Chains A and B, each alone.
Chain A
Amino acid sequence: MASPTSGSIFLNFDRGTLLLRCSEGEFPESVLAHLKGVEWDPRVRNYRAPAWRYRDLVLALHTRGIPFKDNARQFAPTEFSLQKPITPRSFQQEALEAWLPEKHGVISLPTGAGKTILALLLIAKTQRPTLIHVPTLDLMRQWQEVLESHLGMTVGLIGGGQHEVRDITVTTYDSALIHVSQLGNRFGMLVFDECHHLPGEQYQFSALGSLAPFRLGLTATPERGDGRESVLWELVGPLCYEAHIDELQGNTLAPYRIETIPVKLSAKEQVEYQRFRECYTGFLRRERIPLNKPNGWQIFLWKCNQSAEGREAFQAYLTQKRLAQAATGKIDWVWTLLRRHVGDRILIFTQDNDMAYHLGRRFFLPVLTHHTKLPERQALLNAFRNGSYPVLVTSKVLNEGVDVPEANVGLIVSGSGSVREHVQRLGRLLRGRPGKQAVLYELVSQNTGEQSINKRRRQHRAYERSGALPGA
């Protein structure tokens, strides 16, 4: 760093931003012209930049030989060494080589392809205090275990009642958001696991408010329905490496097949379904509500609150949805598939908690939802892994990240139209094991709205080989 002299610049970190002071008060225009993202803040009579601009700012100052004193950065290179050498797989090596030159960017790999190990290798190479962001408490613990076992050091945790900041710290996105204004200058590297969450309305501030120059995004599904991937590319770096499920299948990932099972509603369910569906769609028609438009759903909810007829339509909407998602035929199919896969490790996915607990009560199965407290959650996952409980029902908490390599059969009893959710659910089953063959069943109620939902979520190359739903 250039040593400060008269007229030099002082960089300070201020609650997620950088304050730039000039020792002589006024900032020369010639210097400002080179500093992207810096603006005059009349509130504090200083120049200010969002913290994530730190890397560009420092590089610009260095390159032009402009002297500055860096009071912002509160970290230094730190040595991390692996307890045992790790030999990366060929695609991991390619990903390493793609990320290392710029030390920022997003790597997209399917679930089970070893993203945590890849991050570990990159942390060891980068040698900077690192903050790892994860979406759930389960993942936070999982990362902590892997990092501690490979690096032989204590890893800090922020989230779930823990607040211990160390050179390597794992945090949830929620907790990072709370603390970024204080911790944004303590880490030189940020890792964003399941980084498709980052462009969310709030979460992006974890990246905006930190000055860490080195950034790694990891995901199996960088695509977002709202097109905000651009925020990800800007704050973390561009997509620098990508491998797909079908490319790694049979080698790193277990071979798999997807089977869609059409389920008939009972005669009584069919009659009820039609009645409530017509009530709901009739209301949409009468009120001319364009559900296919971006704000269609908001208009529907708003109109529903305006009249008794609207409230009735909303109840009808919920009922027809429940009838399709929780058809009795599906319950029968669950039993059939449990019988078919005796000896396998089965994950059952549902769209909502009600259905998950209904199945749990019906077949005396362990259910894992956001209501499950951490100790029980860990006990259930351990029992599933060691085979004591061969079946686990879940709504959404296992959609992402949690490592259950033993699972080889998945049953989607109900789900949304989200491609990402579906790919993530499939990903739960694909972690490679010798001789493992994974199968994912989708139960879809015939002649209901579920058919089009099923069609929507299959728009991914991982599904291209599997057959379309008859009648869809």
Chain B
Amino acid sequence: MLTKDLVRYRVHKQRIHPQFVDPNSPELLAFAASLLALFAGASGQTRTSLQGQVNDVIAVFPDNVTIARGLEKLLFDRTEFDEDASGDHLAFRKKVFTASGPKLAGELPEHPEAYRREIAAALGATPEALEAQLYQDLPAHHPVLSFKPLSPAGLLHRYNCAQVQGLLIRCAKLDLEFPESEPARLRQLLKSLRFHQLLARIFRTAEGTTLVQVDGPLSLFVQTQKYGFNLANFFPALLHQPDWTLRAEVQVRKSETHQLELDNSCGIRSHYRPFLAYVPEALQLLQQGVAAKLPEWTLQSVTDFLALEGEQYCFPDFLLKHQSGAQVPLELFHGWHTGPLKARLTQLENCPEPPLLLGIARTLLKDVELKGLLEASDYFQSYGFLFRDTPSVERLRPVLECWLGLQTSEELPLFRL
């Protein structure tokens, strides 16, 4: 991510325009390639040495130096330094201070050189050598451990993406519009919203356009930047949508709000991996199991979101359709979903009608508070089940029966914790 001073933008009539670079510019690609070459070959070099070489390259950069410093920042972010290479420096310093401490507490000579020579002699070194070695483990001296490579064009796209992210950090409200979007893509986008703990309000227009308003709970009361980082981190996920428009209120200067407008024509390439309609093998097995053991049911991926009380929407993982025409969504919560599950349980307790089934990974029970919530949840007792690695048909069957009103929850021991 870029710091505020490295974000380039222009303001015109209340609109803010990020200053993108041309990712096809031969000059910029050549410059990016020369920087990348330095970083790729920097293994073992100190930060100071690498910084010196980068400064030499930047010194002859003919364009705005802020661009060069921005690219440099992104590359340093991808560089890992060996901070533990310091080894014996602590012990060495202790030895030096154990020698200098008593001297400083006693009579000191008029000239510091005599003092320096005395300390150095006590440690069998020259003052100059001692001086050079004393703080040799400072970050400036840390060697490069590794660098995550990327292509020159990838770096320029990454830079353009970071320009927008740098503005979104200072944004309190974000409106997104998707005239057409494949359900699978939209689903991933909404999952990404949830992953970044963003709150969204979703509408569909009569023409089929999806509108998403994104912000955090507190933004109702204050122009919060607390969610700015989440919004910024969410942005690369948006770039995977084929057709989108973004409108944001950005506050780069105190008490001045500017409108940021962007759409898919900006041409920025996402550096996030698309995972679209990927269905893990284990879940494919569930589909096969349902087909074999529950012939009256079919299992398919959900193509739409579900309106709920409270947070207002969720995007279940599967939809189960019964031959009678009844259908029920199934939402799965894995080991990393503690927070979302707690929120979902609260919402579901307030729902007049059960809107979906819950499949919950057993590992979530390690959270004592969550375990207590599940034990106390009538909803989970009736419409939820636990699974170890993947949901099984055996666990699913009684919940489905309960859903159809064939059994009562009291007779379903599988739900008990």
Chain A residues in contact with chain B, CB under 8 A?
12, 14-17, 19, 21, 37, 39, 41-46, 48-50, 177, 181-182, 201-202, 205, 208-209, 295, 301, 305-306, 311, 335, 338-339, 342-343, 357, 360-367, 371, 375-376, 379, 383, 387-391
Contact, CB under 8 Å: A202 / B226: yes
Q: B300 at the A/B interface (Cβ < 8 Å)?
A: no
Q: B389 at the A/B interface (Cβ < 8 Å)?
A: no
Q: How far is the CA of A41 from the CA of B199 in the complex (A)?
A: 12
Q: How far is the CA of A96 from the CA of B352 in the complex (A)?
A: 50
Contacts of B221 in A (CB 8 A): 17, 37, 39, 49-50, 208
B 67-107 binary contact with A (CB < 8 Å = 1; else 0): 00000000000000000000000100110111111001111
Contacts of B218 in A (CB 8 A): 15-17, 50, 205, 208-209
With beta carbons under 8 angstroms apart, the residue of A48, A295, A343, A383 that contacts B217 is A48
Contacts of A21 in B (CB 8 A): 350
Contact, CB under 8 Å: B220 / A48: yes
B112 to chain A, nearest CB (A): 5
Can you list 24 A-B contacts (CB < 8 A)?
A12-B346, A39-B221, A44-B310, A45-B309, A181-B197, A205-B226, A208-B221, A306-B64, A335-B108, A342-B104, A342-B105, A342-B106, A361-B131, A362-B131, A364-B97, A364-B99, A364-B116, A364-B119, A365-B100, A366-B97, A371-B138, A388-B97, A389-B101, A390-B101
Using CB atoms, name the residue of chain A closest to B215. Answer: A43
Given A301-B5, A364-B100, answer yes or no on A201-B225 (Cβ-Cβ < 8 Å): yes
Q: How far is the CA of A366 from the CA of B96 in the complex (A)?
A: 9
Contact, CB under 8 Å: A202 / B199: no
Contact, CB under 8 Å: A362 / B112: yes
Contact, CB under 8 Å: B65 / A311: yes
Q: How far is the CA of A45 from the CA of B346 in the complex (A)?
A: 15
Given A371-B139, A390-B101, answer yes or no on A361-B213 (Cβ-Cβ < 8 Å): no
B 212-233 binary contact with A (CB < 8 Å = 1; else 0): 0100111011101110000000
With beta carbons under 8 angstroms apart, the residue of A182, A376, A379 that contacts B339 is A182
With beta carbons under 8 angstroms apart, the residue of B110, B134, B311 that contacts A360 is B134
Report the interface size for chain B: residues with CB under 8 A from the other chain.
52
Q: B312 at the A/B interface (Cβ < 8 Å)?
A: yes
Q: B407 at the A/B interface (Cβ < 8 Å)?
A: no
**Nearest 4 pairs between A and B by C-beta?**
A43-B201, A364-B100, A17-B217, A361-B131
Contact, CB under 8 Å: A361 / B134: yes
Contact, CB under 8 Å: A305 / B66: yes
Given A17-B217, A46-B310, A367-B135, answer yes or no on A342-B5 (Cβ-Cβ < 8 Å): no
Q: B16 at the A/B interface (Cβ < 8 Å)?
A: no
User: Taking chain A's interface residues, is the majority helix, strand, or loop, or is none over half, making it mixed?
Assistant: mixed
With beta carbons under 8 angstroms apart, the residue of A177, A306, A361, A362 that contacts B226 is A177
Q: B237 at the A/B interface (Cβ < 8 Å)?
A: no
Contact, CB under 8 Å: B226 / A42: no
Given A17-B218, A43-B213, answer yes or no on A361-B135 (Cβ-Cβ < 8 Å): yes
Contacts of A361 in B (CB 8 A): 131-132, 134-135
Contacts of B311 in A (CB 8 A): 44
Contacts of A367 in B (CB 8 A): 135
Q: B171 at the A/B interface (Cβ < 8 Å)?
A: no
Chain B residues in contact with chain A, CB under 8 A?
5, 64-66, 90, 93-94, 96-101, 104-108, 110, 112, 115-116, 119, 130-132, 134-135, 138-139, 197, 199-201, 213, 216-218, 220-222, 224-226, 253, 309-312, 339, 346, 350
Given A202-B226, A301-B5, A357-B138, answer yes or no on A44-B312 (Cβ-Cβ < 8 Å): yes
Q: How far is the CA of A205 from the CA of B108 in the complex (A)?
A: 52
With beta carbons under 8 angstroms apart, the residue of A16, A202, A305, A388 that contacts B64 is A305
Using CB atoms, name the residue of chain A closest to B93. Answer: A366
With beta carbons under 8 angstroms apart, the residue of B105, B115, B197 that contacts A387 is B105
Contacts of B108 in A (CB 8 A): 335, 338-339, 342
Q: How far is the CA of A387 from the CA of B218 in the complex (A)?
A: 50
Q: How far is the CA of A364 from the CA of B128 in the complex (A)?
A: 11
B373 to chain A, nearest CB (A): 12
With beta carbons under 8 angstroms apart, the residue of B98, B105, B110, B115 that contacts A390 is B105
Contact, CB under 8 Å: B346 / A388: no
Using CB atoms, name the residue of chain A closest to B131. Answer: A361
With beta carbons under 8 angstroms apart, the residue of B93, B101, B225, B309 that contacts A202 is B225
Contacts of B139 in A (CB 8 A): 371
Contacts of B97 in A (CB 8 A): 364-366, 383, 388-389
Contacts of B116 in A (CB 8 A): 363-364
Using CB atoms, name the residue of chain A closest to B308. Answer: A44
B142 to chain A, nearest CB (A): 10
Contacts of B104 in A (CB 8 A): 338, 342, 365, 389-391
Using CB atoms, name the residue of chain A closest to B139. Answer: A371
Contact, CB under 8 Å: B213 / A388: no
Q: How far is the CA of A46 from the CA of B201 in the complex (A)?
A: 13
Contact, CB under 8 Å: A43 / B135: no
Q: How far is the CA of A97 from the CA of B67 in the complex (A)?
A: 58
Using CB atoms, name the residue of chain A closest to B83. Answer: A373
B186 to chain A, nearest CB (A): 18
Q: How far is the CA of A409 from the CA of B343 in the complex (A)?
A: 55
Contact, CB under 8 Å: B5 / A205: no
A237 to chain B, nearest CB (A): 19
Q: How far is the CA of A30 from the CA of B197 in the complex (A)?
A: 34
Contacts of B222 in A (CB 8 A): 50, 208
Q: How far is the CA of A50 from the CA of B130 in the complex (A)?
A: 57
What 11 additional pairs, Cβ within 8 angstroms, besides A202-B226, A306-B64, A364-B99?
Answer: A37-B221, A44-B312, A46-B310, A205-B224, A295-B253, A301-B5, A361-B131, A361-B132, A364-B130, A371-B139, A389-B101
Q: How far is the CA of A46 from the CA of B312 in the complex (A)?
A: 11
Contacts of A209 in B (CB 8 A): 218
Contacts of B220 in A (CB 8 A): 17, 39, 41, 48
Contacts of A379 in B (CB 8 A): 94
A156 to chain B, nearest CB (A): 15
Using CB atoms, name the residue of chain A closest to B200. Answer: A43
Using CB atoms, name the residue of chain B closest to A334. Answer: B112
Using CB atoms, name the residue of chain B closest to A40. Answer: B220
Contacts of B94 in A (CB 8 A): 379
A177 to chain B, nearest CB (A): 7
Q: How far is the CA of A301 from the CA of B8 in the complex (A)?
A: 13
A199 to chain B, nearest CB (A): 12
Contacts of A343 in B (CB 8 A): 105
Contacts of A375 in B (CB 8 A): 90
Given A37-B221, A50-B221, A202-B225, answer yes or no on A364-B134 (Cβ-Cβ < 8 Å): yes
B149 to chain A, nearest CB (A): 28
A372 to chain B, nearest CB (A): 10
Contact, CB under 8 Å: A363 / B64: no
Contact, CB under 8 Å: A305 / B138: no
Contact, CB under 8 Å: A360 / B135: yes
A25 to chain B, nearest CB (A): 11
Contacts of A301 in B (CB 8 A): 5
Contacts of A202 in B (CB 8 A): 225-226
A361 to chain B, nearest CB (A): 4
Contact, CB under 8 Å: B98 / A388: yes
Q: How far is the CA of A343 from the CA of B310 in the complex (A)?
A: 67
Q: How far is the CA of A202 from the CA of B229 in the complex (A)?
A: 12
Q: How far is the CA of A389 from the CA of B94 in the complex (A)?
A: 10
B300 to chain A, nearest CB (A): 29
B391 to chain A, nearest CB (A): 28
Using CB atoms, name the residue of chain A closest to B199. Answer: A43
Contacts of A362 in B (CB 8 A): 112, 131
Q: How far is the CA of A305 from the CA of B65 in the complex (A)?
A: 6
Using CB atoms, name the residue of chain B closest to A344. Answer: B105
Q: How far is the CA of A298 from the CA of B218 in the complex (A)?
A: 30
Contacts of B115 in A (CB 8 A): 363
B157 to chain A, nearest CB (A): 23
Q: How far is the CA of A108 from the CA of B224 in the complex (A)?
A: 28
Contacts of A19 in B (CB 8 A): 310
